[in-house]
Amino acid sequence: MKRLHRFGPWAGALVLLVLGAAGCSNQQVSRIDPGTVTDLSGRWNDTDSRLVANALIEQSLLGPWLDRYATGHGGDAPTVIVGDFRNRSQEHIPVQTFVNDLESAYINSGAVTVVASGKEREDIRGEREDQQEFARADTRAALGQELGANYILQGELSSIADEEETMRFGATRKEKIVFYQVDARLVDLESNAVVWAGQHKIKKYIERKPFGL
């Protein structure tokens, strides 16, 4: 007790420091607006996905291809199938986020009819075939009534990175430029003609200063 008393003021400060440090590591979760820009690491994030989706939606829904199709087909909306979007960047990027945004915009605008693609179609056909055997006759979904698509939406995401480390007095400063380019195309399924091409580019500058300066 006597020994502890001898370190009294120091021990108190130490305890306070430990408590303070422990307080700093407390986890805190808060809901924030999904539209808020929150860049932490500099890698591809939700803001990039949203920017790409917004740009492609605007370019495609306000593009002349819709008017052209409607003029040739008595005002009908074109039918589009969403094909592959390839990620050719060096990062793992879930491209489906902005592709789904684009698909939703097509459907909700009513300007484009979207048909189910790939695996979805197989599942639906399986269900329909199942109905032919087990469902009541007047409630069966008819066979051979699928909509054929006029166009297929395809695209790819590419990236280019450039970085440099600068050393001075043993401290390192890192600078990095990442460039993302998303290209989307609508291709006529009969003629292979590209009827619309959209593009969005994002360039990021990421700087890591030494000592948090």
Partner 1 sequence: MNRMAMLAALALLAGCVPKKVNEQPIMENDQVVPDASATVAAASAEAERRRAEAGASRDALRAEALASCAPAICDAVVRGEVALGMNEVQVLAATGSTEDAWSIRRSGASLVMVPMDPRVVPEDVVGNLAMVQLTDDRVSRYGYAEAQGVRLVNEPFDATAEGRAQAVADQLMREGDELAARGEFDAALNRYDRVSILNPSDPMVDFKIARVLDTALRPYEALIQYQLFLHRLEIEKIEARGEAAAQLAEAIALAQQRIVILERQAR
Chain residues that interact with partner 1, rule: CB under 8 A? 33, 35-39, 47, 50-51, 53-54, 57-58, 61-62, 66-77, 101, 105, 108-111, 164, 166, 168-171, 173, 175, 177, 188, 190-191, 193, 195, 205, 207, 209-211, 213
127: tokens are: 């269900």
CB of 152 to partner 1, least distance (A): 15
* Cβ proximity to partner 1, 81 vs 112, nearer residue: 112
* Cβ proximity to partner 1, 67 vs 127, nearer residue: 67
Contacts within 8 Å (CB) and 24+ apart, 84-90: 84/154, 84/155, 85/154, 85/155, 85/156, 85/157, 85/184, 86/155, 86/156, 86/157, 87/156, 87/157, 88/156, 88/157, 88/158, 88/159, 89/44, 89/157, 89/158, 89/159, 89/180, 90/159, 90/161
Decide: 148 and 121 in contact? Cβ < 8 Å.
Answer: no
Q: In 52-130, where do the E strands start and end?
A: 79-87, 113-115
96-109 and 46-61 helices, crossing angle to 10°: 40
* Cβ proximity to partner 1, 127 vs 163, nearer residue: 163
CB of 149 to partner 1, least distance (A): 15
* Cβ proximity to partner 1, 92 vs 168, nearer residue: 168
CB of 193 to partner 1, least distance (A): 6
Distance CA 99, CA 108 (A): 14
CB of 154 to partner 1, least distance (A): 18
* Cβ proximity to partner 1, 108 vs 139, nearer residue: 108
* Cβ proximity to partner 1, 39 vs 84, nearer residue: 39
Distance CA 110, CA 102 (A): 13
